[in-house]
Chains A and B, each alone.
Chain A
Amino acid sequence: DTAVSQTPKYLVTQMGNDKSIKCEQNLGHDTMYWYKQDSKKFLKIMFSYNNKELIINETVPNRFSPKSPDKAHLNLHINSLELGDSAVYFCASSQDLTSGWGEQFFGPGTRLTVL
Chain B
Amino acid sequence: TQLLEQSPQFLSIQEGENLTVYCNSSSVFSSLQWYRQEPGEGPVLLVTVVTGGEVKKLKRLTFQFGDARKDSSLHITAAQPGDTGLYLCAGEKGGSEKLVFGKGTKLTVNP
Contacts and interface: CB of A to CB of B under 8 A. Distances in A.
A and B: interacting chains: yes
Interface of A: 4, 40-45, 48, 55-56, 58, 90, 92, 97, 100-109
Interface of B: 31, 33, 37, 40-45, 48, 86, 88, 92, 97-99, 101, 103-104, 106
9 contacts: A41-B86, A43-B104, A56-B98, A101-B48, A103-B48, A106-B43, A106-B44, A108-B40, A109-B42
Given A42-B103, A101-B33, A108 B42 contact: yes
A101 B103 contact: no
A4 B42 CA distance: 10
B31 A101 contact: yes
A108 to B, nearest CB: 6
Contacts of B104: 41-43
A101 B92 contact: yes
B99 A104 contact: yes
A80 B86 CA distance: 32
Given A41-B106, A48-B98, 10 more contacts: A40-B103, A41-B37, A41-B103, A43-B43, A43-B88, A43-B101, A44-B101, A101-B92, A103-B45, A104-B33
Nearest to B91: A101
A102 B101 CA distance: 15
Contacts of B92: 100-101
Contacts of B103: 40-42
Contacts of A109: 40-42
A8 B88 CA distance: 25
Contacts of A106: 42-44
A40 B10 CA distance: 12
Contacts of A43: 43, 88, 101, 104
* Best-buried of A41, A92, A102 by chain B (most CB within 10 Å): A41
